[in-house]
Amino acid sequence: MRDSTVANSPGSHQKSPSHHKDKSPVSLSKLSPKDGQSDTARLANKFEEGQDVLARWSDGLFYLGTIEKINKQKHNCLVVFEDQSKSWVLWKDIQTGDSGEEMLCTICQNESSEPPNEMVICDKCGQGYHQLCHTPIIDSSVIASDDKWLCRQCVFATTTKRGGARKKGPNAKALQEMKQSLPYTLDELEWDQGHKTNTQQCYCYCGGPGDWYLKMLQCNRCKQWFHEACIQCFERPMLNGDRFYLFVCSVCSSGPEYLKRLPLKWVDVAHLSLYNLSVIHKKKYFDSELELISYINENWDGLQLGELADTPKSERYDRILEALNNNPAMFISGKEIKKKKHLFGLRIRFPPSPHSSETPSDKEQETASQEIKIKGRKSNKPSHSPNHGAWGSWTVGTGDQTIDDCPKVIFPHSLFFFHAQSPLLLNHLLSGYRHSVA
Ligand SMILES: [Zn+2]
Ligand SMILES: [Zn+2]
Ligand SMILES: [Zn+2]
Ligand SMILES: [Zn+2]
C-alpha cells in the first residue's frame, strides 16, 4: 500500500516502515537513451502541456517555465520561459512537481518499493526515488534515520549559483559528496573532435546542458566540462571563456576540486577581455582606450593576473595596445575597415587558449576556424526549491553578485525565501530581467 502522507511527515523518508541495511552494488546509467518503447511512454507521462516546470539551462541553473509541446521521439519539450523565450529542453533537464497522487520514482517512473530498493522521499521536493535509481545510491541508513534527506536535484538547486556553488552550510557538504559520482556514464558520451561538445548535451556533475565557451571549466583528467555554478572552489567568479585554469573535478579527485590559476600574457588579457566584451555587448569593435582598458581596469582583480597584477594603472594601456598591434592575426583594427584606429575587435570570436599547459602532450592544436555563436539565455534566476511538490517555496536570486554579463541586472543583496501559491508572483518579481546575447 502506498502511503501518500509520508512526504509531509518530517523525518520519514520511506514508503514502507521496514528498515534494511542491505546495500546492493548496482550501478545504472540513467541517462543513456536505451529506453524501450514502454520506458519512453512512462517517462513522457511525467510531462503535460501547460505544466509549470523547472528547466536546466546551459549555465547549470534551473529556470521556471511552462511546457508548450512534448516531443516523444527526441525526448524533449518546448519550454516557454518567463521572459517569453522558448527553447527545446531535454527531458533529463526538466524537473516536474509532484503529481500528488501516485508516488512514482522520479527516475524510472515505477511505483514498486521493495528492499533493498525502497522508495525514498525527498524532504524538500516530495519526489520519490528508488534507493538504486538515485545517484549516489541511497544507503538504507537514510531510511532508518530521522534526519532530513534531500535528493540530488534539491541539493544542487539549493547550492549552485552564479560565481560558484556554495562552499559552506549543510547542503554545501552534501553537494561536495554527491559530486563524487555522476548521474550518467561518462564513457557513453559522444564527443566532437575537440572534446568540447557531446551529442547527449550532458556535462558537469549535474548532467545538464552546457556552453564550454561561456562559464565552464574542463577537468584536466577526465576532460568533462563543468559549470561555474556547480564548482565550489572558485575564489572569484569566472569570466566567459576563461580557460586559464588547471582544474580537477571532484570525481577525479574523489574529494574537493583542485584549481590553479595559470599565468596570462598581455596578449591573453587583451584577447580574453575583448572576448568577454563581445559576449556582453553583442558587438565586434571596442574602443581600446574608452572601453577595453576600462573593462580591464574594472576587472583587474577578477582577471587574477599573477605576475602582471602589480602593473601600475598608468602602464597597462601601453602594454595592451602593444599586444593588440603586435598580433594582427588575432586582432582586427578599426583602420582596416576605415574606422577609427583605436577600435579593436577579435578577428574570430573564440576564447583564448592557455599557452602553457601542465601536460603539453595532450594540449590540442586548436584552430579558431569557427566563430562562436552565443545563443540567448535566461538571466532571471529562480534557483528553486520546490516544497512538498507543489512549488511551495522558492529561493530567488542569491543576490551577492552583479551579473557581469548582464550589466544592468543587479539582484537584491539578500536571499529571499518566500512562499508563493502561484508562480505568477515569481513571474512578477522577476519580470524585466530578460537579457540575451546574440
Ligand atoms: Zn526508480
Ligand atoms: Zn528533492
Ligand atoms: Zn553543472
Ligand atoms: Zn574529472
Please give the grid coordinates belonging to residue 58.
546551459
Ligand nearest to the CA of 13: 2
Rounded CA-CA distance 130/107 in Å is: 8
Ligand 3 centroid to residue 148 C-alpha, Å: 24
Would you state the pLDDT for residue 438? 31
Ligand 3 centroid to residue 163 C-alpha, Å: 12
Which amino acid, 261?
R
Ligand 2 centroid to residue 389 C-alpha, Å: 9
Would you state the pLDDT for residue 368? 56
Ligand nearest to the CA of 207: 3
Ligand 1 centroid to residue 3 C-alpha, Å: 17
Kind and range of the H or E run holding 78:
strand 76-81
367: Cα separation from own chain's centroid? 26
Would you state the pLDDT for residue 332? 95
For helices 152-159 and 170-178, what crossing angle results, to 10°?
Answer: 120
Cross-strand pairs, 258? 248
Ligand nearest to the CA of 156: 3
Ligand 2 centroid to residue 55 C-alpha, Å: 15
Fill in the DSSP letter of residue 211: -
Rounded CA-CA distance 367/80 in Å is: 36
Per residue of the chain (438 residues), what is the pLDDT tens digit?
333 333 333 344 544 333 333 333 333 334 444 444 577 787 888 899 999 999 999 999 999 999 999 999 999 999 999 999 999 999 999 988 766 667 889 999 899 999 999 999 999 988 999 999 999 999 999 999 999 999 999 999 999 999 999 999 889 999 999 999 999 999 999 999 999 999 999 999 999 999 999 999 999 999 999 999 999 999 999 999 999 999 999 999 999 999 999 999 999 999 999 999 999 999 999 999 999 999 999 999 999 999 999 999 999 999 999 999 999 999 999 999 888 889 999 999 999 999 644 444 444 456 555 677 766 655 454 444 333 232 322 222 333 322 333 222 222 222 222 222 223 333 333 333 333 333
Beta carbons within 8 Å of 322's beta carbon, 6+ residues apart: 266
Contact criterion met (CB below 8 Å) for 177 and 183? no
Rounded CA-CA distance 202/197 in Å is: 9
Please give the grid coordinates belonging to residue 417.
525565501
pTM: 0.77
Which amino acid, 315?
E
Ligand 1 centroid to residue 21 C-alpha, Å: 19
Would you state the pLDDT for residue 99? 62
Contact criterion met (CB below 8 Å) for 303 and 238? no
* 3-state SS class at 35: coil
Kind and range of the H or E run holding 317:
helix 313-326
Ligand nearest to the CA of 216: 3
Ligand nearest to the CA of 62: 3
Ligand 2 centroid to residue 386 C-alpha, Å: 8
Name the phi and psi angles at 182, rounded to 5. -105, 145
Ligand 2 centroid to residue 152 C-alpha, Å: 7
